[in-house]
Amino acid sequence: MINYISVVIPVYNSEKFLDDLLDSLTRQFLNTGVYEIIFVDNNSNDNSARILRNYTNINKNCKYYMFNKKQGSYASRNFGISLARGDVLAFTDADCILGEKWLKNIWEFYSVKENQNIIIAGDIEIIIENSSNLWEQYDKIVSLNNKKYVKNKSAATANLIVPKKIFQNIGRFKELFSGGDTEWTKRASEKGYNLKFMANIKVYHPSRKNFVEVKNKIFRIGFGRGRKIAYEKKSIILNLFLYFLRIFNIITNIKISTKLIKKVGIYKTILFNICFIWLRICQLHGVIMGYKNKIEI
């Protein structure tokens, strides 16, 4: 039986998102005595610390920690795991909004004995503010689809729930620049743990609003891939070529374009395809820069 839930939330310069996150925390349908919220601030230089200290001073089941030993969201999550009291660990991000029954539904799921060894990949709904915005629609199509990820034995930490004993059995996240959630969930699957998508355990995530925000995300993904190639001491030339074939997949692009035409029309979809080439070049540039930035993981 479940006794306690620890929610781990890494924070880095997240002040513009925190009001919505904290408001969603106050509206949870679960007794505050059976869960804790652990905020791990990874060297923010905005007002995140002030906002979270004020919130945790009022809400005693919420705790704020500054973590400056290593920069990175997975290092921050691992630090949070080391502090967690719960037998179930729930992960989300500072830019997410929790569904009102998020914690309640987690509690009810793990109250069933047969579910004690299952990892939950919860639903992540991308919030669209302007339905005619090309980049919001693109982000909704390609981002944070845990239902799709689960089919490939992976999940995003924006909404990932794990019994603590699984971390004790297989280890914590590799402290990668990005992709640590994919690596960990695949490792768990290889060890025989089941990964289950749950539509009723939902969080909401704001969409990226413009080309620059999408480009920055694409570069970050490439950068993380480059660091991983360097860490694993693989050939950059071979892996760059294989990555090129993967991200310039014409079939994938046709599928995205077909969906975009229905959402924003043909002219904006043509614009997307013009920008698509530049986005992928930025992603490849990120791989090269990540490989050159050889930091031990």
Q: Phi first, then psi: give them for residue 196, nearest 5 degrees.
A: -125, 130
Q: Phi first, then psi: give them for residue 165, nearest 5 degrees.
A: -65, -25
Look at residue 103 and tell me whether its pLDDT is greater than 90: yes
Look at residue 129 and tell me whether its pLDDT is greater than 60: yes
Look at residue 116 and tell me whether its pLDDT is greater than 60: yes
Beta bridge partners of 40: 10, 65
For residues 49-60, average pLDDT: 93
pLDDT of residue 297: 43
Look at residue 171 and tell me whether its pLDDT is greater than 80: yes
For residues 98-108, average pLDDT: 96
Beta bridge partners of 203: 98, 124
Q: Phi first, then psi: give them for residue 134, nearest 5 degrees.
A: -55, -45
Burial of 182 by CB count in 10 Å (0-12 exposed, 13-18 middle, 19+ buried)?
middle
Q: Give the CATH superfamily of 5-206.
A: Spore Coat Polysaccharide Biosynthesis Protein SpsA; Chain A (3.90.550.10)
The structure tokens listed for 54 are 């004020």
pLDDT digits (tens, 9 = 90+) for 222-237: 888 888 888 778 888 8
pLDDT of residue 229: 86
Of 46-55, 185-194, 240-249, 271-280, the one with minimum mean pLDDT is 240-249
Look at residue 295 and tell me whether its pLDDT is greater than 50: yes
Q: Residue-wise over 46-76: b if at least 16 C-beta within 10 A, else e?
A: eebbebbeebbeeeeebbbbebeeeebbbbb
Its sign, for the CA torsion 18, 130, 265, 258, is positive
Of 186-195, 196-205, 221-230, 281-290, the one with minimum mean pLDDT is 221-230
Q: How many Å apart are CA 187 and CA 261, to the nearest integer? A: 37
DSSP strands (E only) in the chain: 5-11, 35-41, 62-66, 88-92, 97-98, 118-127, 159-163, 194-206
Q: In terms of residues, how long is the chain? A: 297
Q: Phi first, then psi: give them for residue 158, nearest 5 degrees.
A: -60, -25
Query: Can you give the residue ranges of every domain in the chain?
Result: 5-206, 211-292
